[in-house]
Amino acid sequence: MGALGGIRRILGAILLIGMSGTFVELLLLGHDEDSTQLIPLFLLGLGMGAVAWRAFSGSEASTIAVRGVMTLFLMAGLAGVYYHYRANVEFQRESDPSIGGRALLMAVLHAKVPPALAPGIMVQLGLIGLAYTYRYKEN
């Protein structure tokens, strides 16, 4: 196994740990109240399965599957940041109808529930997953 293969194994392990930790955290936080909140849970489960398949088979099909799921991670993460941000804006405007501009932005970014940038973890995991499959023909 060359250097790239070793790095790939480390990235795969980091990816599996990150996905499983995020999955458990979302379950513990009750991130399953509606169908939209189930999307990251579904994708994390799908991602863990795809990475396990890639790790054990090393097939081109499994690599394509991992890349596809990681692309969905990127899209879901960006959408999640938008939805969390939008929910915080609505809450802040209900609390203080006169708030706007920088004050609104800072209030939204400092809000604890829902954390506006938390879905960014899906983007991070997606990028790690894409790095994991980089030059997959060179094990």
pLDDT tens track for 23-52? 999 999 999 889 999 999 999 999 999 999
pLDDT at site 10: 95
CB 84 within 8 A of CB 92: no
pLDDT tens track for 83-136? 999 999 999 999 888 998 999 999 988 888 888 889 999 999 999 999 999 887
Residue 139 has pLDDT above 60, yes or no: no
CB 20 within 8 A of CB 48: yes
- The pTM of this model reads 0.89
Section 59-66 average pLDDT:
95
Main-chain phi, psi angles of 102, to 5 degrees: -65, -35
Sketch the domain layout of the chain as residue ranges.
3-132
- Residues 6 or more apart whose CB falls under 8 angstroms from that of 9 comprise 1
